[in-house]
Amino acid sequence: MTLLVALFGLLMGILGVLGIVWPDRLTRFARAWHTPAGLLLAAALRIVLGLALFLAAPDSRAPLMLRILGVVIFAAGLATPFFGLERSRRVLEWWAARSPAFRRAWAACALAFGLFLVSVVAR
């Protein structure tokens, strides 16, 4: 499970760098996934990440933090389909309407979270 968490962290880090360097490209990337299938894929990825975090926690440097994050992300994955595509699209459009600096700041958070995941499971 630690390898899966590290891969998720690496992917988040790459998306964070993409958003810092090219915030408009990250926005286009996010819009491309706003479909019914994309919403279900997002839900599935959150469920898998939540489980992976929870199961990798005992072998990590921050077991309590990973367990909490795992439960929260798993619950978010279960709730994602109920959030709905239209509401999700409105949130994305709100986010896309913000300044590039705002979107870069969010991308920096994604980068930091990805690096955090990699660092707590790396041995």
Cα–Cα distance, 85 to 21 (Å, whole number): 28
- Look at residue 123 in the predicted model and tell me its pLDDT: 78
Domain residue limits, the chain: 2-121
Angle between helices 100-121 and 85-96 (to 10 degrees): 110
Within the chain, what is the greatest distance between any pair of CA atoms?
42
pLDDT of residue 46: 97
Q: What is the dihedral of CA 96, 98, 104, 108, to 10 degrees?
A: -90
pLDDT for 68: 98
Per-residue pLDDT of the chain (123 residues; tens, 9 = 90+): 999 999 999 999 999 999 999 999 999 999 998 999 999 999 999 999 999 999 999 999 999 999 999 999 999 999 999 999 999 999 999 999 999 999 999 999 999 999 999 999 997
Q: How far apart are CA 55 and CA 67, in angstroms?
A: 8
The DSSP symbol for 99 reads -
